[in-house]
Amino acid sequence: MKKILIIGAGGQIGSELTTHLRSIYGQHNVLAADIHSTPGEEDFVQLDALDAAAVAQAVRENGIDTIFNLVALLSAKGEANPQLAWRVNMGALMNALEVAREYNCSVFTPSSIGAFGPDAPKDLTPQDTPMHPTTIYGVCKVAGELLSNYYFQRFGVDARSVRLPGVISSQALPGGGTTDYAVEIFYAALRGERFVCPVPHDRFMDMIYMPDVLQAMVQLMEANPERLVHRNGYNVAAMSFSPEIIAAEIKKHIPGLEMVYEIDPVKDAISAGWPNLMDDSVARAEWGWNPQWGLAEMTADMIETLGRRLR
């Protein structure tokens, strides 16, 4: 990776990925792109990921060799408007792959635990297993993995992806996801507000802390292509917990946290079909995936860093 374009750079992952990649590859070698403008930001271009000509122009004019395509409507938001979710999620990916084909770029796109459906084993969900998601988000993720593999086999486009768990981070908020509660609970705890949890107390889901997400993206994109058998998309696991478990962990730092449950039927149904914990042994074997953050360390760090931001 020498010249990088991040599409969707203003989102939860994009905002931290931009800073992280600039610290490794240099400020001017990482071009941030988003549909919303960021006044005064250097090395930024405002573009609509669904505008193929605009994506091509950004790649051509800046000599880009690697594209991170982070544009997506998340799972719960996708269910509110499935047609829009398909148009945005698949449109942005198709444009990224087509531009990559034309200008010989590598492409990273996050897949998700949402790519699995109710017929996949819940515990230690294998890398290769039935994938029949029941959400439009999951359908897009499976289609995206297949499309990325197709572009590699048919056109030689170096497309790679990981199946991300719910991402926990202290900078930009997620939005429209089923796992968002695991971020929002920290804001409530630190502000002394009652937390209203939308998923059942005992619903386990895979989660990951942002530093491990950034590490996974760089590590996979820098991996020797000859070692990559799966390419799209690798299971990456870091921790798994339920709402009552994360609440208990936060209470070790903030004993006054108050949590009540008001189950959101959409998030309940979505999360019921997702893994409890994926088996990530293939990612470990093929490119050395090795997460550093578990529940206890992540919780302590979130309270410290988000607490500083909110003060």
Catalytic residues: 137
Does 125 contact ligand AKB by CB under 6 A?
A: no
Output 79 or 158, the one with its CB closest to ligand AKB: 79
Does 112 contact ligand AKB by CB under 6 A?
A: yes
Does 14 contact ligand AKB by CB under 6 A?
A: no
In the complex, the smallest distance separating the C-beta of residue 177 from ligand AKB, rounded to whole angstroms, is 3
Does 161 contact ligand AKB by CB under 6 A?
A: no
Does 239 contact ligand AKB by CB under 6 A?
A: no
AA identity, residue 218: V
Distances (CA, A) of 245 to 53, 166, 182, 271, 303: 47, 15, 11, 16, 16
Three-state SS string over 243-308 comes to: HHHHHHHHHCCCCCCCEEECCCHHHHHHHHCCCCEECCHHHHHHHCCCCCCCHHHHHHHHHHHHHH
The residue count for binding ligand AKB (CB under 6 A) is: 13
User: What is the b/e burial string over 162-198, where b = at least 16 CB atoms within 10 angstroms of the residue's CB?
Assistant: bbbbbbbbbeeebebbbbbbbbebbbbbbeeeebebb
Does 117 contact ligand AKB by CB under 6 A?
A: no
**Which stretch, 57-65, 110-118, 192-200, 297-305, contacts ligand AKB (CB under 6 A)?**
110-118
Does 114 contact ligand AKB by CB under 6 A?
A: yes
Does 238 contact ligand AKB by CB under 6 A?
A: no
Token pair in block for residue 271: 């999360």
Q: Which spans of this chain sit near ligand AKB (rule: CB under 6 A)?
A: 74-75, 112-114, 137, 164, 166-167, 174, 177-179
